[in-house]
Structure 1
Amino acid sequence: MVEHDALSVTREAYNAAAPTYAELFRDTLRDSPLDRAILGAFAELVSASGDGQVADLGCGPGHITAHLDGLGLAAFGVDASTSMIKLARQAYPGLRFDVGSMAALNIADGVLGGVLSRWSIIHTLPQELPVILAEFHRVLAPGGHLLVGFSGTEDPSHLTQVFDHTVALAYRWSPDHLAAMLRKAGLVEVARMVREPQPTDRRQFQEIQLLARKA
């Protein structure tokens, strides 16, 4: 299947890049007050709605999972890359990290208080994204929250747009279009954060983070 091939290519690309990726992104939150702020808001909302676990899907080397743990959440990480999971387990031995696919999570229905997906959907083929959003909805408890980050398109006439990601083929998404897809999956938008490109950014396009709740 094409989808399986696309996942395999992405997985192998991240396996090869894992040590470099971990080194580059280990301290990114330190210089990202906006990211810390929305992660903090996400953590507060999840904590207020119950004691459910939080899955960091596409967790990479685990630094964001560890940040969520530091905010008081029962967080664990999932990633398709075995090399990323190995690095995460080495760096944060007290936390749980599993190898898995966002399209078929080994998580029971309705057990999570929160799902975090930071720039992990960008490698998903556009026609396959509804399957992943349905998985997010399935594993969330009623009232649970999703925070999804992705690269945005500025032109509403382009629902998706391919761009040359350093590691693997990736897609930018229209935030309004993705919000509509979330609604169709049963996830209602609560808020969004739009970070405009800065002069020092290598890629000059928006970064979007959508916060949604399972109805």
Structure 2
Amino acid sequence: MTEPYDVTETRAAYDTVSKAYAEIVDPSVTETSFDAGVLDTFAAYVRRDGGGLVGDIGCGPGRITAYLAARGLDVFGVDLSTGMIAQAMERHPALRFEVGDMARLPLRDGELAGVLAWYSLIHTPPSRRPEVIAELARVTRRGGRFVTAFQVGDEHVRHIGAYGHDVTFDGYRMPVEATSALLEEAGFEVTATVVRSAEDWERTPQAYLVARRR
């Protein structure tokens, strides 16, 4: 099976910038206290439902994986980039991390009690977004929890150069209503939709969708 071009390009870019990215982004576990509130709510839902394995899908250097582990979740991280996984393992050696494609996860149906896609859907083109969300739904058990965060909009952003490196990759802002509809179509029930204004360093509003697997 031929790998989609966006997957190949995104992996190569993050392999290149992984160390610089981790050094710049990792010191701040969450950019805003609002982000922390969403993550804390997700963790509380999973604990209240009886716990279970949680996947941080598109985990990068593992900062959110570690944040959730500190809140009592049995969580592991998956990322497309071997460089990012190396950074995650170096920074959080007590946690489990593995390389994987979020469109083809090496997990059984319904294996996870919770799934986090924290700014990790933003590199998937709209044409492939339904299949990726369907895969996230597949691995989430009935009643399991899901949360995603993303920049609001419908623009395609071509990144040329990032984190001090000569790389190119695509990013996509995501419309809230259409993304919510994709979650519903995949088998999730969206239970909360929150959009906050952009912070001083951000260019767009940010959205958070919290859902439960039907």
User: TM class by shorter-chain length?
Assistant: over 0.9
TM-score by length of 1: 0.92
| Counterpart amino acid of residue 161 in structure 1 | E
Q: Deviation of residue 179 (structure 1)?
A: 0.3
The CA distance in 1 between the partners of 2:136 and 2:212, in whole Å, is: 11
Equivalent position of 2:211 in the other structure: 212
Q: Secondary structure at the match of 1:126?
A: coil
Identity value in percent: 38
**Is the Cα contact below 8 Å between 1:149 and 1:210 reproduced in 2?**
yes
After superposition, the C-alpha distances for 1:41-79 in whole angstroms (9 at most, x for unaligned) are 000001111221110000000111000000000000000
**Is the Cα contact below 8 Å between 1:112 and 1:141 reproduced in 2?**
yes
| Counterpart amino acid of residue 208 in structure 1 | A
Unaligned runs of 5+ in 1: 154-159
| Counterpart amino acid of residue 129 in structure 1 | R
Which structure's residues are more often helix, by fraction?
A: 1
Which structure's residues are more often strand, by fraction?
A: 2
Runs of 4+ in 1 over 4 A off after TM superposition: none
**Is the Cα contact below 8 Å between 1:51 and 1:113 reproduced in 2?**
yes
After superposition, the C-alpha distances for 1:148-207 in whole angstroms (9 at most, x for unaligned) are 111102xxxxxx321244462111111011001111111111112212112x21x42111
Q: Secondary structure at the match of 2:211?
A: strand
The CA distance in 1 between the partners of 2:119 and 2:111, in whole Å, is: 23
**Is the Cα contact below 8 Å between 1:29 and 1:35 reproduced in 2?**
no
| Counterpart amino acid of residue 193 in structure 2 | R
Q: Secondary structure at the match of 1:168?
A: strand
**Is the Cα contact below 8 Å between 1:57 and 1:79 reproduced in 2?**
yes
Equivalent position of 1:193 in the other structure: 194
Matched positions, count: 207
Equivalent position of 2:131 in the other structure: 131
TM-score by length of 2: 0.92
Comparing 178-187 and 162-171, the one that deviates more: 162-171
Equivalent position of 1:99 in the other structure: 99
Equivalent position of 2:73 in the other structure: 73
| Counterpart amino acid of residue 195 in structure 2 | V
Comparing 60-69 and 161-170, the one that deviates more: 161-170
The CA distance in 2 between the partners of 1:52 and 1:94, in whole Å, is: 18
**Among 149, 156, 159, which residue is 1:162 paired with?**
156
